[in-house]
């Protein structure tokens, strides 16, 4: 049995609550731009176990399911609470909320930096770093040029074209990837392409 497998032991009260809290943050990460669920998992020292449990869920179902259970429950709580909470905040203080999101993005950097501390720099890694910087910049520039941020919430999905469906599939895949790749925010991607407020506005309990 590997070291990682040994770490997926039966929970006690403290560790169960810790994983549940991680799930809440992951749920918030889907809604709140700037929060990366995987970055929070790194801070909680549960990132490798989280990846292992997801990757081996069908190979060792019972152990991995019990490990993921509090995370899943917390995810639902964080997602629902974040969804309606952020909706209200954006309506009341939109600029302050955007500034808060920007601060969360900057604040998550040290946790990711610590993961690569001591790693040897190679030409390939430098190229990948540059690509990782250029992709979100390019998305933001294209979004600004197309005026995505100026589009009225009701107009974004008023008429869905076939090509929008293809884009939505690609965006959904990218959002799923953000939950396991540190530093990436699913909702930040939606903001960059101008879909964030539209999707938030399309969900309501009233």
**Residue 73 pLDDT:** 93
Residue 206: inside a domain: no
Q: Which two tokens stand for residue 155?
A: 């107009």
Sign of CA dihedral 13, 15, 20, 24: positive
Length of the chain: 206
> Considering the domain boundaries, does residue 137 fall inside one?
yes
Contact 154, 160 (CB under 8 A): no
- Identify the domain containing residue 88 by its residue range: 3-201
Q: What is the pLDDT of residue 6?
A: 45
Task: Please state, in angstroms and rounded to a whole number, the distance separating the CA atoms of residues 81 and 31.
Answer: 9
What is the domain count for the chain?
A: 1
Q: What is the pLDDT of residue 1?
A: 44
The rounded average pLDDT for each run of 10 residues, N- to C-terminus, in the chain (206 residues) is 51 83 82 73 80 84 88 89 77 76 70 69 86 76 60 58 80 78 72 73 62
Q: Is residue 76 part of a domain?
A: yes
The alpha-helical segments, DSSP class H, found in 11-161 are: 13-31, 37-43, 47-55, 61-92, 94-107, 109-115, 123-146, 153-156
**Predicted local distance difference test score (pLDDT) of residue 205:** 56
Domain assignment present for 130: yes
Q: Would you tell me how many other CB atoms lie within 10 Å of the CB of residue 198?
A: 18
How many Å apart are CA 101 and CA 29, to the nearest integer?
11
């Amino acid at each position: 049995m590997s070291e990682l497998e040994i770490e997926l032991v039966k929970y006690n009260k403290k560790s169960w609550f810790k994983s549940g809290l991680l799930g809440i943050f992951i749920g918030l990460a889907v809604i709140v731009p700037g929060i990366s669920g995987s970055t929070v998992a790194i801070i909680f020292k549960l990132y490798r176990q989280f990846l292992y449990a997801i990757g081996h869920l069908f190979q060792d179902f019972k152990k991995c399911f019990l490990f993921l259970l509090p995370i899943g429950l917390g995810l639902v709580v964080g997602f629902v609470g974040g969804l309606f909470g952020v909706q209200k905040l954006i309506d009341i203080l939109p600029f302050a909320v955007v500034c808060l999101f920007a601060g969360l993005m900057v604040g998550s950097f040290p946790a990711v930096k610590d993961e690569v501390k001591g790693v040897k720099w190679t030409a390939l890694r430098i190229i990948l770093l540059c690509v990782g910087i250029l992709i979100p910049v390019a998305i933001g520039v294209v979004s600004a040029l197309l005026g995505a941020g100026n589009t009225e919430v009701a107009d974004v999905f008023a008429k869905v074209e076939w090509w929008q469906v293809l884009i939505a599939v690609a965006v959904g895949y990218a959002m799923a990837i953000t939950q396991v790749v540190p530093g990436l925010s699913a909702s930040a991607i939606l903001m960059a392409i101008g879909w964030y407020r539209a999707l938030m506005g399309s969900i309501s309990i009233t």
